[in-house]
Structure 1
Amino acid sequence: MSVKVVIIGGGSSYTPEIIEGFIQRYDSFPVSNITLVDIEEGNDKLETVGALAQRMIAKASVPIKLEWTLDRREALIGADFVTAQIRVGGLSAREKDERIPLSHGVIGQETNGPGGIFKAFRTIPVLMDICEDIHDICPSAWLINFTNPAGIVTEALLKNSKHDKVIGVCNIPFNMKNSVAEMMNCYPNEVQIEFLGMNHFVFGKRVFIKGVDKTQEVLEKLMKKEIDFSPANIVSLGWSAEFIQSLQMLPNPYHQYYFQTDEVLEKDLKAFRENGTRAEVVRKVEKELFIQYQDEALNEKPKELEKRGGAYYSDAACSLMVSIYNNSLDIQTVNTFNKGAIPDLPVDSVIEVNAVITKEGPMPLAVGSIPLSVKGMIQQMKALEELVIRAALTGDYFEAYQAMVMNPLVPNEKTAKILLDELLEAHKQFLPQFN
């Protein structure tokens, strides 16, 4: 049986990683066709990445036909799986998401705080259009979204688009499992973490090694700072023993924005003064990567790709597609409808949760009520996500203002208005719904 995968955002520097994933999994996921899609502004990168992907496939001697195009609707014909890895406005937009908040003494980060809100505002309408095309052209295809903010985007699509076969993935649960495995001297597939919460605001409630509850042992090592599961884009500040002892759960790297706000802001401002925004750092990394990609002797994913903060997103996405295709009934961590897995949140809200992966999609596993220590924050963050989605779809100024005011990283309502107005002006080219 032939399998066609369409990669939207195919000119991304991450694409060699997902190509490597398909090659490694060919025996269990026999992809016959891969089509890379991008927009006109990304054509040069698309040509470069396409040529590298072609060399990788030739080296592996797998019978995969690879194409690349700027015609999205043509590419979608016959697709079984579609992945989305887009960045509306490119790194220039990310730089504004980071620089403008920092200029007002607010954390500037691309998926949290004001920057995350505006990335969602730019991204949701574009992915709504993509879902419209998928529903019209290949309605049975699964959309695997790892465009950030992944949880918000996935909820927006599942609730508001015509296409309901949408699953979000993130590399943070993957990173956390691998870090625990390293710390506990075992294989990652022997680690199972019970996740509770939403994308970038998820906690590890319990940790099992080979089916045995090792939560306390892992927490003790975390208190002794024997573990660091931060991706390349987040410098870990470490956690106090008191915080971990009281929390009794694994925090994820993004939690430092909320629980160590002053320290993170100080660190980010220092980095901003010395090296510019994270977007500027990434631009340099990407430039170096694409110089390598253009080398006709290169026929594998370069190690330097792991310097990107989103490294291993593709691994999670590939594993998910393999399990859907094979009806594997294994457990993976995905962004999908709650369906009662967390009774304290609406059943139709999207959470990041362990789920049994079937050919019909994910079946979320019950994780129980939210511990009182983080219940209020998780419910607030979920309400914030809903406000962001509403504003992104309606273009209503006051709904956008509500979202900005309710964000825990925005200190007060006056700063919220300043940030909202400056970011709306800075991004107006990519926010037609607000004009």
Structure 2
Amino acid sequence: MKLAVVGGGSTYTPELIDGFARLRDTLPITELVLVDPAADRLDLVGGLARRIFAKQGHPGRIVTTHDLDAAVEGADAVLLQLRVGGQAARNQDETWPLECGCVGQETTGAGGLAKALRTVPVVLDIAERVRRANPDAWIIDFTNPVGIVTRALLRAGHKAVGLCNVAIGFQRKFAGHLGVDPARVHLGHVGLNHLTWETSVRLDGPGGEEVLPRLLAGHGDAIAADLRLPRPVLDRLGVVPSYYLRYFYAHDEVVEELRTKPSRAAEVAAMEKELLEMYGDPALDEKPGLLAKRGGAFYSEAAVDLAASLLGAGGSPYQVVNTLNNGTLPFLPDDAVIETQAAVGRDGAVPLPAGPVDPLFAGLIANVTAYEDLALDAALRGGRERVFKALLAHPLIGQYAYADQLTDRLIAHNGEHLAWA
């Protein structure tokens, strides 16, 4: 079994490698190819990856290359974890929206749109090259904004599934609170990528015992603290929102916070410098503890589970993924991409029935879906007016004066990445 990781020079990659090594019985990889244009990073990450495999006794071969076509040739699955423009572009995404009083964030709002515009054309080019190399290969997208990128891939006819680590993070935390094996925790996960609510928590599958009320009653304070939301908000909602909902539920508070501290991109850039120095140590043969602060917790477990199911190697029967709506949420178009529990196998992901969705959540889901449709149109066809309309439609912006200003700032900061600008 051959897997390729596009963006293999990422400092995230050792987390992925550690999962591949530990879970080799679930996903028996014989060849793993890390591809990245950044030669210095790729050499450091590749060296550590080989040492991790060797220490854990994984027999698979790890190859590093800058040649995308060679990397994906004969690959059974290709994982995408790239960042067009690097942390410098992310830093821009997180700062210039604040000038207009809007949240600066890399996956939602104006910054999220900027990232989508930079990323979608690049990902579609990669996907076409994967299709030419092996039309049966699965593409697993971890590249943000996952919902928009996955929608672009599926609209172009690619075999793709989107993946995020939010759900598995909740699964692990809830399991800890309940004192059970994480595999027993089944989430009623509803919404879009980075716009989800846990409306149900059951033990032992979708038909198991409902424990969400018990979870909120006994551990609501800890859950609220993790989300940085007041406990009464959880009690009034009766569900657990993703921590990304804080950008919506406490927008002005978050803007003030972001204006008074360094950007997350600046923090990550400093962390990455330290991590790369660690990776260069020939004695290091495991992922360092610092990597846990980088983000992407449990990404490797989620990626292994998904790849194993798509390739018929095993995997959990139900997984939270990003895939086509196809009637699951009747208030959305069939071709919308939702993040939901799905049955995953060789033929892809089939969403489980979601049941009625409270209008309190459905309204926001529908609004952001409309924005994502306009965002994808702007990413595919370009043009100032399309960017403006996407920003105007976004519930975190929604005023024409802000949308106009943000459009100008977005284009000014991203011109080198936008073929039409």
TM-score of the two chains, using structure 1 as the length reference: 0.93
Q: Cα deviation per residue 1:94-143 (whole Å; 9 max; x = unaligned)?
A: 01101111233221001011000110000000000011101111111110
Name the amino acid aligned to 2:236.
S
Native 8 Å contact 1:14 1:311 kept in 2: no
How big is the shift at 1:227?
2.0
Alpha-carbon offset, residue 396 of structure 1: 2.3
| 1:256 corresponds to | 246
CA distance in 1, matches of 2:6, 2:418: 20
% identity of equivalent residues: 39
Q: How many residues align?
A: 417
Q: Which runs of 5+ in 1 are unaligned?
A: 231-235
| Alignment partner of 1:237 out of 228, 234, 241 | 228
SS at match of 1:134: helix
Is 2:188 the partner of 1:194?
yes
Partner of 1:18 in structure 2?
16
CA distance in 1, matches of 2:212, 2:391: 36
User: Within 5 Å, which residues of 2 pair with 1:79-118?
Assistant: 79-118=75-114
What residue number does 1:217 align with? Answer: 214
User: Letter of the aligned partner of 1:168 in structure 2?
Assistant: G
| 1:143-292 equivalent positions in 2, closer than 5 A | 143-159=139-155, 161-163=156-158, 165-210=159-204, 211-221=208-218, 223=220, 225-227=221-223, 230=226, 236-241=227-232, 243-271=233-261, 276-292=262-278
Contact 1:14 1:314 in 2 (8 A): no
Give the AA of the match of 1:431. Answer: L
Instruction: In structure 1, give the amino acid aligned to 2:359.
Output: L
Partner of 1:8: 6
- Tell me which residue corresponds to 2:36: 38
Aligned equivalents of 1:174, 1:228: Cα separation in 2: 17
Deviates more, 1:26-35 or 1:318-327: 318-327
Residue among 419, 422, 425 paired with 2:406: 419
CA distance in 1, matches of 2:36, 2:224: 35
Q: Which shows bigger deviation, 120-129 or 355-364?
A: 355-364
Deviation at 1:237, TM superposition (A): 2.2
Measured in 2, the distance between the counterparts of 1:394 and 1:377 equals 26
- Which secondary structure does the structure 2 equivalent of 1:87 belong to? coil
Q: 1:374 matched to which residue of 2?
A: 361
**DSSP-derived class of the 2:241 partner:** coil
5+ residue gaps, structure 2, are none
Q: 1:270 to 1:380 in 2, by over 3 A?
A: same
Residues 256 and 7 of structure 1: CA distance in aligned 2, closer, same or farther (over 3 Å)? same
Counterparts in 2 of 1:115 and 1:350: CA distance versus 1, 3 Å: same
Secondary structure of 2:95's partner? helix
Asked whether the equivalents of residues 327 and 357 of structure 1 are also in contact (C-alpha less than 8 Å), the reply is no
Structure-2 separation of matches of 1:162 and 1:313:
26
Q: CA deviation at 1:262?
A: 1.5
Judged with a 3 Å threshold, the aligned counterparts in structure 2 of structure 1 residues 177 and 28 are, in CA distance, closer, same or farther, namely closer
Secondary structure of the 1:140 match is: coil
CA distance in 1, matches of 2:26, 2:398: 50
8 A Cα contact 2:391 2:398, kept in partner: no
Partner of 1:130: 126
2-side partners of 1:213 and 1:162: how far apart? Answer: 38
Letter in 1 for 2:265: A
CA deviation digits over 1:158-181, x for unaligned, max 9?
Answer: 01x242x10000011111111111
Equivalent residue for 1:233? none
Residue 215 of structure 1: how far off its partner (Å): 1.7
The corresponding residue for 1:359 is 346
Distance 2:355 2:225 in 1: 25
1:408 Cα deviation after fit: 1.6
Deviation at 1:248, TM superposition (A): 2.1
1:389 to 356, 376, 394: 376
Kindly state the Cα deviation for residue 209 of structure 1 after the two structures are TM-superposed.
2.6
The structure-2 alpha-carbon separation of the partners of 1:329 and 1:24, relative to structure 1 and needing over 3 Å to count, comes to closer
Query: Quick check: 2:325–2:334 contact (8 Å CA) kept in 1?
Result: yes
